[in-house]
């Protein structure tokens, strides 16, 4: 093949694989139905949903209903908690939002996706909503954000739930060193065919059947929201882990660790590190479940969390 022929073949291949962003208006019409709303806060337009009662009906006084805030993981969105909300909202005000650079919140103009920035955004959001104290639930990188927030703001936390949380360095990674992001991940900015995304997501599930076409489409669509893919790459580049032990030792509130035994992303063996470091934690292991208990076994996992929070 001549040089010109090779270039033409490469151009044709790129054209077939090129995956442009989707129109934001169309995405919001599809994924921001009721009870979604957008809150202008911390220089962001935060996509948020609030469900459940805001006041108890107890007499003679009416008291605030306890609030639960849910933080999703990498590449995900507030929709990952959809099946937990009907259970938790029976007794709690449930707030979930798309983290900066994810879902319909979109990219942060500062380009800052560190945990420190995430803590500021959550604190500002709670103050904006007039919420003083919460139980905080975080999954994966949302779990890392949750325990860092709890350590820095103990007066704002009632209980803590960590679902397969990130934080301890796995083999091949070092504390204090930025991860190396390969060309294949950088290419995601331009190339993200749905079959390739399926291959990337399927190992996260203990049961392959959980990854339905509808679920895959939701992940694919929201990762193609304007600015999200570069933001996800930036988040990875800024995820410089520090030894979690000193931080975790400061968390005194009751903590539930929820982990799928088939988790291939953050293995359940990591739970032992958290149990050693957290003064007031217990672990529930879920048989046959992978990295996303809230999607793979929603009824069972929601009941476990609901009982713990009560």
- Structural domains of the chain ordered from first start: 42-309 (3.40.50.1820)
**Residue 16 has what pLDDT?**
56
| Residue 169, pLDDT score | 86
Predicted local distance difference test score (pLDDT) of residue 172: 64
* pLDDT for the residue numbered 205: 96
pLDDT for the residue numbered 182 = 72
pLDDT of the chain along its 310 residues, tens only?
444 443 333 334 444 578 999 999 999 999 999 999 999 999 999 999 999 987 544 444 456 789 999 999 999 999 999 999 999 999 999 999 999 999 999 899 999 999 999 999 999 999 999 999 999 999 999 999 999 999 999 999 999 999 999 999 876 677 888 777 777 777 888 899 999 999 999 999 998 889 999 999 999 999 999 999 999 999 999 988 899 999 999 999 999 999 999 999 999 999 999 999 999 999 999 999 999 999 999 999 999 999 999 9
Rounded CA gap, 222 and 250, in Å? 36
Q: How many CB atoms lie within 10 A of CB 310?
A: 9
b/e 158-193 (16+ beta carbons within 10 angstroms → b): ebbbbbbbbbbbeeeeeeeeeeeeeeeeeebeebbe
Q: Is the dihedral of CA 74, 174, 162, 125 positive or negative?
A: negative
Q: What is the DSSP letter of 74?
A: T
Please report, for the chain, how many H helices and E strands are present, in that order. Answer: 13, 8
**Given this model, what pLDDT does residue 63 score?**
60
CA 290 from chain centre, in angstroms, equals 15
Nearest-angstrom CA–CA distance, 240 and 251? 21
């Amino acid at each position: 093949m001549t040089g010109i022929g090779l270039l033409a073949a490469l151009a044709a291949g790129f054209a077939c694989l090129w995956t442009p962003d989707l129109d934001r208006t169309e995405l919001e019409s599809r994924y921001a139905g009721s009870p979604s709303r957008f809150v202008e806060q911390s220089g962001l337009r935060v996509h948020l949903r609030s469900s459940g009662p805001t006041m108890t009906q107890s007499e003679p006084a009416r008291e605030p209903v306890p609030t639960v805030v849910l933080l999703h993981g990498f590449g995900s969105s507030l929709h990952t908690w959809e099946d937990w909300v009907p259970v938790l909202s029976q007794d709690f005000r449930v707030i979930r939002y798309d983290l900066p650079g994810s879902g319909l919140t979109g990219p942060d103009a500062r380009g800052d996706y560190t945990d420190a920035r995430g803590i500021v955004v959550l604190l500002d959001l709670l103050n904006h909503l007039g919420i003083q104290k919460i139980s905080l639930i975080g999954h994966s990188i949302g779990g890392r954000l949750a325990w860092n927030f709890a350590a820095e703001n103990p007066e704002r936390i009632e209980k803590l739930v960590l679902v397969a949380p990130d934080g301890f360095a796995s083999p091949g990674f070092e504390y204090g060193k930025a991860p190396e992001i390969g060309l294949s991940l950088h290419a995601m900015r331009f190339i993200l065919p749905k079959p390739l995304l399926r291959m990337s997501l399927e190992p996260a599930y203990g049961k392959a059947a959980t990854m339905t076409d509808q679920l895959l489409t939701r992940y694919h669509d929201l990762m193609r929201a304007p600015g999200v893919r570069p933001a996800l790459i930036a988040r990875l580049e800024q995820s410089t882990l520090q030894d979690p032990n000193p931080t975790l030792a400061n968390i005194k509130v009751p903590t539930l660790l929820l982990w799928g035994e088939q988790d291939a992303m953050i293995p359940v063996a990591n739970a032992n590190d958290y149990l050693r470091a957290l003064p007031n934690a217990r672990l529930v292991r879920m048989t046959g479940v992978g990295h996303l208990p809230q999607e793979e076994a929603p009824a069972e996992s929601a009941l476990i969390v609901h009982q713990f929070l009560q």
